[in-house]
Copies of this chain bind each other. A is one copy, B any other.
Amino acid sequence: MSDFLSDEQLEGLDAYWRASNYLAVGQIYLKDNPLLNVPLTQAHIKPRLLGHWGTTPGLNLIYTHLNRLINQYDLTVLFVAGPGHGGPAVVAQTYLEGTYTELYPSVERNANGLLRLFRQFSWPYGISSHVSAQIPGSIHEGGELGYSLAHAYGAAFDNPDLIVACVIGDGEAETGTLAASWHSNKFLNPRRDGAVLPILHLNGYKIANPTVLSRISEDELSALMYGYGYDPYFVEGDDPAQVHQALARTLDTMVLKIREIQRDARQSRQSGGLERPLWPMLVLRTPKGWTGPTFVDGHRVEGTWRAHQVPLADFQQPVHLQQLEEWLNSYRPGELFDANGALLPKIAALAPTGHRRMSANPHANGGGLLRALDLPSFSDYAVKLEVPGSLRAEATRVLGTFLRDVMKNNLASNNFRLFGPDETASNRLDAVYEVSAKAWMEPLEPDDVNLSVDGRVMEILSEQVCEGWLEGYLLTGRHGLLSCYEAFIHIVDSMVNQHAKWLKTAAEVPWRKPVASLNFLLTSHVWRQDHNGFSHQDPGFIDLVANKKSDVVRIYLPPDANCLLSVADHCLKSRNYINVIVAGKQPEWQWLDIDAAIRHCLAGIGRWDWACRDDQDPDVVMACAGDVPTLETLAAVTLLREYVPDLRVRVINVVDLMVLQPSFQHPHGLPDTAFDELFTVDKPVIFAFHGYPALIHRLLYKRTNHDNFHVRGFKEEGATTTPFDMAVINNLDRYQLALDVIERVPRLHDQLQNARSRYWSTMEKHKLYLIEHGQDMPEVLNWQWTPVAVG
């Protein structure tokens, strides 16, 4: 085959690649002598060698070739570096493009800047070894593996002119999320969305093992990719010139293919007839640690797992020092940088310019592109309520009508999507289908409903892929909400951890603009999973979230539909947070009209004096957080009215869990004076909580009255049983709460024995009724709030 690249092109590409590799090796090893102006000595080498060379030359090769492609076809490309520890390569590239210096002016494009560039890498108060938020052009750190492809698709949705080049490491490819993410192509519409160009980089090894995908036959690998719905192209080799030619030729073919797919899809504006195309993907097989030391201490390094981290260490050995010097010189830095350390203009000219530089792609600093959502007035969707407890509603269904119009108002902006693992309808948000279907590129059957290539509801049965899509969508400047069964959101615990870390770091990077918050609606929650049983009952995600930095996380437990509306509206307007909203989907009594709900949610906590006769100097405080605990608390209040007519109860409802923390720990934290005024400094507090009780204790252990808090919540007792029995087996039920009160109010101690036997006989009755009838006893099923008599 004749050469694809001219000699000049080939030389240029190779020089650029060598420059980036030189800068990467420099970052890993050097704290001085960046241009090798003097012979290398131990004094030039960092005391702690913390980088990873293995993946670097491959990333640099791909980046360099994408640059050529961008210039050739005037492309807008976002670069996602999936392999772990890709930092040295991507930082080198952003520096070569000039972006790094524009954003960090002290890292100049000269010898002094080179020195800073090298030293800061994996250096205290420097930069990470991953492609973190500090790195221009990045939306994906790659510290924890597996999320690159889902992030890439999230970025491509609704960005028709964007190509997201996603390098997938062959180690990363073994993870669950990555393995599932390939199927994202079933949800990408070539007319409306951009393209994802997956580049599976097989360098053969992970930390200490060969990779699965590098050792299966090409026959199987090719079938696997075709089975995932891609048209795989293969480039392979260890001779740079040959690989440059093959890679350039192949990438050219692939870009033309992408353009053809998009042209075909976009020529006709009808939805009908639009089929999922066979998108091209690349399998690139080059040696791990390519161009690094071939042998070290008699062991082969280049092309093996030994190249994963630092191929050379222990510079007490002069031969290692010599090898490092030879390695660095193998890139012929004198042909790349001038005497001042500036990249030679003819090499620098090979990079794209301005926003075409992948490191300066505006999508990678999505906050800069972010447009606020056009939100309808959420009050218009409120449940109309004359008095508290006078009607039932399904909170998430009410929210669904609001979300429908959020979707509708922003259809033209193409910047809002709803995500969920096959649960949008189950979670009763299906009103959104009135304005947008679910995205679906596969063939339709006659009984299919609400599926369309133009759908903006994103459903795949993988919480991880949904989460990855949403993160990618948000980080490129759009908005979204993910609804999920409460128990199963734990599947993305680790992804949420990583996103929280990203947000924390990004907030410290001056040029990063705020992005829309990551919004979770957790429903089908622990207290109403009688349908599914123990495996579906776990409220612990908020414990995980509460461990994150207080300037990143928010947790809301709206007690009813109107509060849910208010909270959701707030979350959709917020920036740079992880918002968790926990709300039920089942018909439940409603408590606050919309004005009261707005006031309540604004404060985050409040006294519900309408629930009590006189709560000024209470005998006891009954607090609640979450819809079911609120219901049980109010039912307990009605029981207590009957049991102890003269008892003074104060009812406090908590919507915003973070108000409980001290104000020095969380910006929402209530000042101690306000807290003490609400909860008193010495009265018993019976706290009915949605989640594990320990979370409440850890939030308020510094509060004055803490020792008097008695928290009821989920204690890991679950079953396929009735809604009320779930409360009973976890001791959160109204009868238990009423007994808790009587046990803790000293002046009621003469009633204690009586109260206990009443409790036990009620429980006996409950259980017998349950076993006999399979549903809750009438006084529970038909319970209704009775307003406090006036006067």
Contact = CB atoms under 8 A, between A and B. Distances in A.
Interface of A: 31, 46-48, 50, 85, 119, 122-130, 132, 141, 143-146, 171-172, 174-180, 182-183, 186, 204, 206-212, 215-216, 220-229, 299-300, 303-306, 422-426, 438, 440, 442-443, 445-448, 451, 459-465, 487-488, 490-491, 493-494, 497-498, 500-501, 504-505, 530-536, 538, 540, 543-544, 546-549, 692, 694-695, 697-699, 701, 706, 716, 718-722, 725, 767, 770-771, 773-775
Given A132-B534, A220-B227, A698-B697, A211 B487 contact: no
Given A124-B721, A220-B228, 9 more contacts: A123-B720, A128-B720, A174-B183, A176-B491, A179-B179, A179-B182, A206-B422, A224-B226, A546-B694
A176 B174 contact: no
A533 B300 contact: no
A533 B132 contact: yes
A176 B464 contact: yes
21 contacts: A47-B774, A122-B531, A122-B533, A123-B720, A126-B720, A128-B535, A132-B535, A144-B487, A174-B180, A174-B461, A175-B462, A175-B464, A176-B180, A176-B465, A206-B461, A207-B423, A223-B223, A224-B228, A304-B445, A697-B698, A698-B701
A206 B462 CA distance: 12
A132 B537 CA distance: 14
Contacts of A464: 175-176
A125 B446 CA distance: 41
Contacts of A305: 447
A129 B546 contact: no
B210 A445 contact: yes
Contacts of A144: 487-488, 491, 535-536
Number of copies: 2
A128 B538 contact: no
B211 A221 contact: no
A590 to B, nearest CB: 23
A774 B180 contact: no
Contact of A701 (B178, B424, B534, B701): B701
Contacts of A126: 720
Contacts of A487: 144, 494, 497
Contact of A124 (B228, B463, B719): B719
Nearest to A423: B207
Contacts of A127: 720
A129 B549 contact: no
A779 to B, nearest CB: 16
A124 B766 CA distance: 11
A232 B447 CA distance: 28
Contacts of A543: 543-544, 547
Nearest to A552: B716
Contact of A501 (B122, B304, B500, B535): B535
Contact of A544 (B85, B425, B544): B544
Nearest to A701: B697
Contacts of A178: 176, 180
B447 A304 contact: yes
B220 A226 contact: yes
Contact of A176 (B175, B229, B694, B771): B175
Contacts of A129: 531-533, 720
Nearest to A490: B494
Residue among A460, A497, A549, A775 with the highest chain B CB neighbour number at 10 A? A497
A548 B716 contact: yes
B422 A207 contact: yes
A547 B692 CA distance: 7
A171 B461 contact: yes
A490 B544 CA distance: 10
Contacts of A698: 694-695, 697-698, 701
Contacts of A725: 124
Nearest to A276: B216
Given A124-B774, A442-B215, A174 B536 contact: no
Contacts of A221: 227
A46 B706 contact: no
A47 B530 CA distance: 13
A533 B548 CA distance: 16
A47 B775 CA distance: 7
A451 B533 contact: no
Contact of A493 (B171, B177, B186, B544): B544
Nearest to A215: B442
A505 B717 CA distance: 10
Given A451-B209, A494-B493, A175 B171 contact: no
Contacts of A183: 174, 179, 212
A184 to B, nearest CB: 10
A59 B134 CA distance: 51
Contacts of A128: 533-535, 719-720
Given A462-B175, A720-B123, A501 B132 contact: no
Contact of A426 (B204, B207, B462): B207
Contacts of A767: 125
Contacts of A225: 227
A774 B227 contact: no
Nearest to A493: B493
A661 B507 CA distance: 37
A535 B227 contact: no
